[in-house]
């Protein structure tokens, strides 16, 4: 058994039977809104007796899965290993590999799994819920429904081939799972600093999304007020792309040079192949590098930081792919 003390978690057990749902934030240490949203959920279940008594099944909340990375304010922990690349981990491996091992045990003990992310310090992601295109039709359909139920504007099913992710482990042990991405960089910081993920009404989309998932799974009663938006009926754009590499956000449109980054597109914008994504300007040379989109589709990730290093991802364009 892996060392479960490697991360802190809270568990809320309903008096009535229901599914076991695991929600994690902070797999990456520089993604703060999900941590605040999970903290808000913990505070709410602690303070709201009615909410707690209405719970069916078992809710496990991990607000900061990767403490070492959080303490550094960095994507990776002190050993500089990306936790989201080493699942299922190794019992006696490096600290991040041991952590992946302990988190894997938690995922295996769950019936459903939601992993919350943002683009981190330098990338900004269009609010989306994603899943792997699982070969098991029943799990795939459950994942689709979870992603839609979360209630964000974009739903993205991508290749089941990506390895080392929390979702790869969930895939391998047959646990229906989704990941969520919500902004990043300075837009995330602005929301985090405004306190919007905590105790504000209406709920922040990350808080609302987790509660939507619980209603969808029958863990919380449905909203009776017909004027409250029914999350599963909110129109969202659904794209599925089974090609290998789809969904890998750190490598798309690599920068041809290091320099100042000037984006030419907005997050969520639809663009055509060949359109200008961004320019990279040097401080000392008149040469400007243009980065053109390799696909037609929707800009779901854009760098949101003034500097870019050669080979860093500029943007991800989610393509409506028809095999």
The tokens of 256 are what?
């041809």
DSSP of 276-295, one letter per residue? EEEEEE-SS-S-EEEEE-SS
What residue ranges bind Zn ion (CB under 5 A)?
28, 31, 117
Residue placing its CB nearer to Zn ion in the complex, 38 or 217:
38
Residue placing its CB nearer to Zn ion in the complex, 76 or 146:
76
Minimum CB separation of residue 91 from Zn ion in Å reads 24
CA 136 to chain centre: 22
* Dihedral of alpha carbons 170, 171, 176, 182, sign: positive
Task: Report yes or no: 206 and 180 within 8 Å, Cβ to Cβ.
Answer: yes
Q: In 3-state terms, what secondary structure has residue 322?
A: coil
Residue placing its CB nearer to Zn ion in the complex, 26 or 231:
26
Residue least distant from Zn ion (Cβ): 117
Minimum CB separation of residue 233 from Zn ion in Å reads 29
| Phi, psi dihedral angles at 275 (to 5 degrees) | -70, 150
Minimum CB separation of residue 179 from Zn ion in Å reads 8
Residue placing its CB nearer to Zn ion in the complex, 120 or 259:
120
Residue placing its CB nearer to Zn ion in the complex, 122 or 203:
122
Minimum CB separation of residue 31 from Zn ion in Å reads 5
Q: In 3-state terms, what secondary structure has residue 305?
A: coil
Minimum CB separation of residue 27 from Zn ion in Å reads 6
Task: Report yes or no: 303 and 263 within 8 Å, Cβ to Cβ.
Answer: yes
């Amino acid at each position: 058994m892996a060392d479960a003390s490697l991360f802190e978690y809270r568990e809320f057990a309903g008096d009535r039977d229901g599914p076991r749902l695991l929600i994690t934030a902070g797999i990456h240490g520089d993604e703060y809104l999900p941590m605040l949203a999970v903290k808000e959920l913990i505070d709410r279940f602690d303070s709201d007796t009615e909410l707690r008594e209405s719970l069916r099944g078992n809710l496990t909340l991990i607000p900061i899965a990767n403490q070492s990375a959080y303490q550094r304010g960095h994507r990776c922990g002190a050993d500089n290993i990306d936790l989201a690349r080493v699942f299922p981990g190794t019992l006696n491996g490096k600290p991040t590999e041991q952590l992946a091992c302990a988190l894997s045990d938690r995922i295996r003990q769950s019936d459903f799994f939601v992993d919350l992310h943002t683009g981190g310090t330098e990338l900004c992601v269009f609010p989306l819920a994603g899943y792997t295109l699982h070969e098991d039709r029943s799990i795939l359909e459950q994942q689709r429904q979870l992603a839609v139920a979360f209630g964000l504007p974009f739903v993205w099913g991508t290749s089941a081939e990506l390895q080392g992710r929390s979702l790869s482990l969930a895939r391998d042990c047959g646990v229906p799972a989704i990941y969520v991405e919500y902004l990043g960089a300075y837009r995330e910081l602005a929301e985090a600093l405004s306190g919007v993920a905590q105790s504000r009404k209406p709920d922040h989309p990350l808080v609302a999304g987790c509660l939507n998932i619980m209603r969808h799974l029958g863990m919380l009663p449905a909203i009776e007020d017909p004027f409250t938006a029914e999350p599963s009926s909110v129109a969202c754009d659904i794209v599925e792309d089974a090609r290998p590499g789809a969904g890998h956000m750190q490598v798309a449109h690599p920068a041809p040079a290091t320099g100042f980054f000037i984006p030419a597109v907005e997050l969520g914008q639809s663009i055509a192949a060949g359109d200008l994504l961004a320019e990279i300007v040097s401080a000392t040379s008149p040469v400007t590098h243009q980065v053109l989109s390799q696909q037609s589709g929707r800009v779901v990730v854009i760098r949101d930081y003034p500097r870019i290093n050669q080979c860093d991802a500029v943007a991800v364009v989610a393509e409506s792919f028809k095999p």
